[in-house]
Structure 1
Amino acid sequence: MNIAIWIIQGLAALGFVYSGWLKAFQYEKAKESWIWVKDVSKEFVVFIGLAELFGALGIILPQALNIAPVLTPIAATGLAAVVLFGALYHVSRKEYREIGVNIVFFALTVFVAISRFCSI
């Protein structure tokens, strides 16, 4: 089971690194990729991107290095919240096609959070 959790952590981290990098450091490309980016401030998009990047680090490094491993499920919980709020934002804008990605990453991060909290 531990291997499955690591695979899911890795997939989630890769997804958040990709989207976080675009939002934090390639704002123009993010504007082309996601329609909602045009409707919020650049600073907020960058903030979300940095939160996703730090969350991606937090979902891997504490557990991998065995340094404060409790931070891994906490990071997963934070990322689940980011994705949940993103989904709610898409619902408020009636962007239902965008919610599928949110649901997948919500499920991944909740699975990691529950699995890692239970193994502490």
Structure 2
Amino acid sequence: MNTITWILTAVLAVVFTISGLAKSTMSRERLIASGQTGIAPFPMPLVRIVAVCELFAVAGLFAPWLTETARVLTPLAAVGLSVVMIGAATSHASLKEPKSAAANTILLALAAFVAASRFAALT
């Protein structure tokens, strides 16, 4: 189970590092052209804040668990990513983009699995 959790954690880290870097550096037009259409209804300052939160969550997925310092932060980071994915799936669904909403739902499931696995390992 631990190996699966680490693999899924790595997948989440790659996806959210790419997403967070893109949202924190690209213009609205470039983000939408690159497929990040879910940002369309939101003001750019909010998109930038979410991007920074995604990048902090990536660090939170690994650093506390590896250093065995404040390990509760790892599942909390995964919960935070789950919340972001709920918002993203809702945004894509409202834009009538079922494939993107489905991809967000899959990422939500991965983040929820990591959160549950890491919370269970705390006891």
Change (3 A) 1:18 1:36: same
Q: Does the 8 A contact of 1:76 with 1:112 survive in 2?
A: yes
Which residue of the other structure, out of 101, 108, 111, is the alignment partner of 1:109?
111
Aligned mates of 1:31, 1:111 — CA distance in 2: 29
For 1:58-86, what per-residue CA distance to the aligned partner results, in whole angstroms no more than 9, with x for missing partners? 11111111111110001100100110111
Letter aligned with residue 116 of structure 1: R
Kindly tell me the number of residue pairs found equivalent between the two proteins.
Answer: 120
Q: Does the 8 A contact of 1:22 with 1:29 survive in 2?
A: no
For 1:1-37, what per-residue CA distance to the aligned partner results, in whole angstroms no more than 9, with x for missing partners? 2111111111111100001110012235323212343
Equivalent residue number for residue 11 of structure 2 = 11
SS of the counterpart of 2:113? helix
Give the stretch that moved more between structures: 33-42 or 77-86.
33-42
Equivalent residue number for residue 82 of structure 2 = 80
Letter aligned with residue 21 of structure 2: W
Give the stretch that moved more between structures: 28-37 or 109-118.
28-37
Percent identity reads: 34
Aligned mates of 1:119, 1:6 — CA distance in 2: 13
Equivalent residue number for residue 65 of structure 2 = 63
Aligned mates of 1:37, 1:107 — CA distance in 2: 21
Q: Which runs of 5+ in 2 are unaligned?
A: none
Letter aligned with residue 105 of structure 1: L
Equivalent residue number for residue 32 of structure 1 = 33
Where in structure 2 are the equivalents of 1:45-56 lying within 5 Å? Answer: 45-56=47-58
SS of the counterpart of 2:71? coil
Q: TM-score normalised to the size of structure 2?
A: 0.89
Query: How many angstroms does 1:56 deviate by?
Result: 1.0
Aligned mates of 2:13, 2:48 — CA distance in 1: 18
Letter aligned with residue 74 of structure 1: L
Q: Which runs of 5+ in 1 are unaligned?
A: none
